[in-house]
Amino acid sequence: MRFLIIGCLIFSFCRAGLCQIDPRLKKASREDRAGWVYIHLEGTPHTIGFQHGYLLATEIEDNMEAMRYFMEGNTGKEWSFYRQAVKKMFWNKIDPEYQQELSGIVEGLRARGKDYDVYDLVALNGNIELGQYYVPWLADKIKKGSANNKAPGNCSGFVATGSYTSDGKIAIGHNNWTDYIIGERWNIIADISPEKGSHMLMDMMPGFIHSGDDFVITDAGILITETTITQFKGFDEKGIPEFVRARKAAQYARSIDDFVKIMTTGNNGGYANDWLVGDTKTNEIARLELGLKNFRVWRTTDGIYVGSNFASDPKLIREETTFDPMDSTSSPNSRRKRWEKLSEQFKGKIDAETGKTIEGDSYSELVKARDASRCVIAGRVDTDPKGCPEWDWKPFYPGGTVQAKVTTAALAKDMKFWAHMGNPSGEDFLAEPFFALHPQYQWQAKFLHDMKAYPWTLFESRK
């Protein structure tokens, strides 16, 4: 399948009179499976970029146009604003190897007739920290108190070890919550073997050089995921972009200490997260709660750390958020309560199969029943909330859990993880009947399509 797809691309170029196969594609491959697009990229930074741009040219163009449309509609800022922002604020803070990789993506795109440049790609990679941190920070800078202090409250994840797992080794899982118009495009499994640093297997969006929702395993034995610190306020335009630090940490961290050091050095506060990390070499797990002014690390070789967008450090909560940890009806806190129940229920049993069950859980501790709402781990916003307040989303907004990933130390040793495209509860989103019922969101119909729940599928790296 991999070579067939590349062969089809080559055949189409031969018909156009461009028959020479670029040698940079020899070690690259692509396969479409269960709603995902798997790509293998290997070589120098520029070569990896070229392979990426070439193999995913159609998907990158679609993602770029959808992201541009969505960000302009959602923030009131034109794409040219974001291009200028990254040119001024981000580009010179990107490591040379990642500049080369981005330039390679541009070259690969242009080989397929797609006309984008590095500033388009940097804005795409930095879309979360630009649209949801930088823009509110700018508004607050111009007029104090005008910023919409509602950093995204999305995703549910865990990392466990010791007495909490079935074999005493590390297990980790994550599901991605986002706007469906964006989430339907978060469907790439990237197997990246760079010239330097660790071999990485991760999910991502087309055109990203990082995971973005951050689920990564590496051949250094490092397992990474995160959930956002919700209602966070803060940004430093002089800092290093979050997406750069996240990619660098995935590629070069060989220990939890390495990971913490890379993520905290030059921190710009963009995309503030609770990072959940494991090191299979030591069987230790950690939680790095990273704001802008504050960060804190918890570590253990016997326990579980969970995330559903709540912060835990009182100082960080007080100084950098408007989050109320006592509001039991909020999505982060209701999911936290569910995490506590599931942690006890599955203690000593957590593995890949129970991890899938957990990430697809749709039981609400608020209504004491299964529910399709923001207050369950595999949440949905596009339905009647049944007792769960909408909080930072509008009623029936097309958003929620769009995919999930799970792995264990045993699987990660062989560079494997399970991935599920679509809501892991097994529920489909169908665009046409949704827009008929909720025409106020018809503006998204240009780029929002059906999202089917595919089966869990095992992916592995090419070594």
DSSP letter at 66 equals H
CB 313 within 8 A of CB 232: no
Contact in structure between 31 and 1 (CB atoms under 8 Å) = yes
Per-residue b/e over 403-428, b at no fewer than 16 CB within 10 Å?
Answer: bbbbbbbebbeebbbbbbbbbbbebe
In tens digits, the chain (463 residues) has pLDDT values of 444 455 445 434 443 344 468 999 999 999 999 999 999 999 999 999 999 999 999 999 999 999 999 999 989 999 999 999 999 999 999 999 999 999 999 999 999 999 999 999 999 999 999 999 999 999 888 877 656 666 777 799 999 999 999 999 999 999 999 999 999 999 999 999 999 999 999 999 999 999 999 999 999 999 999 999 999 999 999 999 999 999 999 999 999 999 999 999 999 999 999 999 999 999 999 999 999 999 999 999 999 999 999 999 999 999 999 999 999 989 999 999 999 999 999 999 999 999 999 999 999 999 999 998 999 999 999 987 677 776 667 889 999 999 999 999 999 999 999 999 999 999 999 999 999 999 999 999 999 999 999 999 999 998 7
* Non-local CB neighbours of 301 within 8 Å, separated by 6+ positions: 161, 162, 282, 283, 284, 285
Q: How many residues does the chain have?
A: 463
Residue with tokens 């509609």: 73
Domains and their CATH numbers in the chain: 156-460 (3.60.60.20)
295, β-bridge pairs: 290
Residue 292 CB neighbour total at 10 angstroms? 21
Distance CA 91, CA 54 (A): 23
165 bridge partner residues:
350
CA nearest to 5, candidates 22, 30, 41: 30
This prediction's pTM = 0.95
Using alpha carbons, list the distances in angstroms from residue 156 to 42, 69, 164, 361, 404: 31, 27, 18, 10, 9
Q: Which H, E and C letters describe 211-244, residue by residue? A: CCCCCEEECCCEEEEEEECCCECCCCCCCECHHH
Rg (the chain; Cα; Å): 21
User: d(Cα 110, Cα 369) in Å, to the nearest integer?
Assistant: 52
Helix (H, G, I), strand (E, B) or coil at 20: coil
Do residues 203 and 209 make contact, with C-beta atoms less than 8 angstroms apart?
Answer: no
Cα(414)–Cα(407) distance, integer angstroms? 11
User: Residue 33's pLDDT is what?
Assistant: 97
Q: Determine the pLDDT at residue 18.
A: 42
